[in-house]
């Protein structure tokens, strides 16, 4: 009986440790890009977004002038969609929607699985790195 109780406690602790609570969704600041001495063109920024996002497994879901919609699918379990608005001076990543990421509004504040903030931060770094021509730290 004692072994069964200990087993149930351990099983419940494992389940709790694997479930992550939602955290406030962080909308990254607009990233201003500087490429050496010369300014970038909007197409160069777009290409940096495409290359940087692809390196991390993001795909382009739609493409319109000044905005790319990117999708990230993690093991067919979690999906995130963001819009990346861009011009010759920089880019801005904004949340669009998600699947299985615990997204909810709490008192007017968006909350989401903590992986979202990490994935979007890594995405911004990878894009910046591509635009500057230096490898991104991961």
- List the domain boundaries for the chain: 21-132
Q: What percent of the chain has pLDDT over 90?
A: 75
Query: Which is more confident, 41 or 11?
Result: 41
Mean pLDDT of the chain: 88
Q: Kindly report, residue by residue over 65-107, the tens digit of the pLDDT.
A: 999 999 999 999 999 999 999 999 999 999 999 999 999 999 9
Q: Give the DSSP H/E element, type plus range, for residue 55.
A: helix 42-55
The backbone torsions φ and ψ at residue 6, rounded to the nearest 5 degrees and listed phi first, read -60, -40
**Residue where the block lists tokens 């504040």:** 109
Task: Give domain 21-132's CATH number out of 3.30.310.80, 3.90.650.10, 3.40.309.10, 1.20.1250.20.
Answer: 3.30.310.80
**Whole-Å CA distances, 108 to 54, 105, 118:** 33, 6, 22
Answer for the pair 85, 92: CB distance below 8 angstroms, yes or no: yes
pLDDT at 102: 97
Model confidence, pTM: 0.81
Residue 29: strand, helix, or coil: coil
């Amino acid at each position: 009986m004692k072994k069964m109780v200990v087993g149930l406690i351990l099983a419940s602790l494992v389940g709790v440790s694997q479930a992550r609570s939602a955290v406030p969704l962080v909308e990254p600041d607009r990233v201003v890009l500087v490429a050496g001495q010369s300014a970038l063109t909007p197409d160069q920024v777009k290409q940096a977004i495409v290359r940087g996002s692809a390196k991390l497994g993001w795909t382009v879901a739609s493409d319109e002038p000044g905005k790319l919609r990117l999708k990230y699918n993690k093991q067919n379990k979690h999906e995130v969609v963001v819009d990346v608005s861009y011009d010759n001076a920089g880019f801005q990543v904004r949340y669009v929607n998600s699947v299985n990421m615990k997204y909810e509004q709490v008192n007017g504040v968006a909350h989401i699985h903590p992986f979202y903030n990490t994935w979007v931060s890594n995405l911004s770094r990878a894009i910046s790195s591509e635009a500057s021509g230096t490898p991104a730290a991961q």
